[in-house]
Structure 1
Amino acid sequence: MIEASTRYQLLVSVPDLGDANFDQTVVYVVEHDDAGAFGVVLNRPTETDIGDHLPDLSIPVVSPGVFFIGGPVSVGGLLALGRRRLGAEAAHVAELPGPLALIDPEALVEGEVEGIDAMRLFTGYSGWGAGQLDAEIAAGAWHVVEATPDDVLCAEPEALWRTVMRRQGGRLASQGLYPEDPSVN
């Protein structure tokens, strides 16, 4: 049985996690229960322009208009998070807290998604088996903090890890000052 669900919260890696997939990352947790957990890394943009691969999308992509690496599982698969339009009926989405929604990727490609005014696209996701995330949190690999819609669709994803750490105050804020490359310190 899980200790406490991190569903709809952020996992913020400790500065020196030692895992290239998750060093200085912020993960939005979409699901976390006894079977495991999954989410997406919010601050790993690629250089691959979405318009080069999906030129006919009817929903605007939040800048930067590139695919993000959501995690090491199923890289190449498509996952989309978006912001529901105020007062609009949304179709082909699973509602998340606040204005956020998980968008059906097939319906997105087919142009069938409605009620979304902006989105971000991810390739791959972050996944944990039963009890795995709980053990990593207990071992001190992750800080669990509240998420905001602005975190999920932030305009400056490269700065997100530091931004989230610093807004926590105290010890976490000081960890946000950790150098990107400690060897040059």
Structure 2
Amino acid sequence: MALNPENLYGDRLFSSLERGTPAAGMLLLAAPGMASPEFARSVIFLVEHDEHGTLGVDLTQRSQTPVHNVLEPWAPLMSKPPVLYIGGPLNQNQPICVGVVRGGAELPEGTDDVTGAPFMERIAHRFALINLGIEPELVKGSLDGARIFAGYAGWEPGQLDEEIDRGDWYVAPALPSDVLAPAAADIWGDCLRRQPWPLPLYGTYPVDVRDN
């Protein structure tokens, strides 16, 4: 019989756990045995979640393109590795910059002269969207680090709730170290290992169970 993620994972542990409420600034952790291969072992940082739908960026998918090659002025503000991350399958020509605000710092006031958008817009807690249309020096002093994502993952209204109910995702709080994780970090495994029991048991679950 062909291996099927549903058969491999059985009753889908995530569907039986207490469900968190998705919100901007939270994480979506892909269930072990995720049926969609493009989201296997993915960790989605939610940028927006409201009645209009959900938008997030994948923290686990790096490209080989240095930020210096595409947005040179912003490269010094990026955390290592200073490369573009692949935020998701949608609109990959649209860069999204997520920053971690320095402890105790206020968001800089001011708006882009062209678009009228603020320099930075708080997502939640210490996380903020950074306006890439401004001069980096305007926000440099407010940041501990940042990432630029090409594209995003999106859900229509109600779609994400259905996937969470089905057991595809576990909702968890995000830490600054998740967004700014170094290249060698296993973000998915690290996030699972700090969740309530028994989720830490699945921290080493492979993309393909045949690799075990």
TM range (shorter): 0.7 to 0.9
Question: Which range moves more in the overlay, 161-170 or 111-120?
Answer: 111-120
Unpaired runs of 5+ residues, structure 1, are none
Matched letter for residue 150 of structure 2: T
Q: Return the alpha-carbon distance in structure 2 between the equivalents of residues 69 and 157 of structure 1.
A: 17
Does the 8 A contact of 2:67 with 2:74 survive in 1?
Answer: no
1:111-122 equivalences in 2 (<5 Å): 111=136, 113-114=138-139, 115-122=142-149
Task: Give 2:42's aligned residue.
Answer: 25
Q: Which moved more, 1:70-79 or 1:98-107?
A: 98-107
RMSD: 2.1
Once residues 135 and 88 of structure 1 are traced to their aligned partners in structure 2, the CA distance between those partners, rounded to angstroms, is 37
TM-score normalised according to structure 2 size = 0.77
| Residue 85 (structure 2) aligned to one of 61, 65, 68 | 68
1:42 — aligned with what? 59
How many correspondences in the alignment?
Answer: 181
Q: Does 1:165 align with 2:192?
A: yes
Contact 1:44 1:158 (8 Å CA) reproduced: no
Using the alignment, how far apart are the partners of 1:58 and 1:44 within structure 2? 18
User: Which amino acid in structure 2 is aligned with residue 39 of structure 1?
Assistant: G
Deviations 1:39-87 (A, max 9, x none): 1111111111111222222752101111001111111210001122343
Q: Radius of gyration: which is bigger?
A: 2
Q: Which shifted more, 65-74 or 51-60?
A: 51-60
Return the structure number with greater strand share: 1
| Secondary structure class of the residue paired with 1:21 | helix
Higher mean displacement: 13-22 or 88-97: 88-97
> 2:46 & 2:97 partners in 1: Cα distance?
13
Q: 2:95, 2:82 → 1: CA distance?
A: 15
Helix, strand or coil at the partner of 2:77: coil
TM-aligned CA deviation for residue 168 of structure 1: 1.0
| Structure 1 CA distance for aligned equivalents of residues 201 and 83 of structure 2 | 31
2:124 aligned partner = 97
Contact 1:41–1:125 (CA under 8 A) maintained in structure 2: yes
CA distance in 2, matches of 1:21, 1:157: 20
Percent identity over the alignment is: 33
- Structure 2 unaligned runs (5+)? 1-19, 110-118
Q: Judge conservation of contact 1:14–1:142 (CA < 8 Å) in 2.
A: yes
- Distance in 2 of aligned mates of 1:137 and 1:65: 32
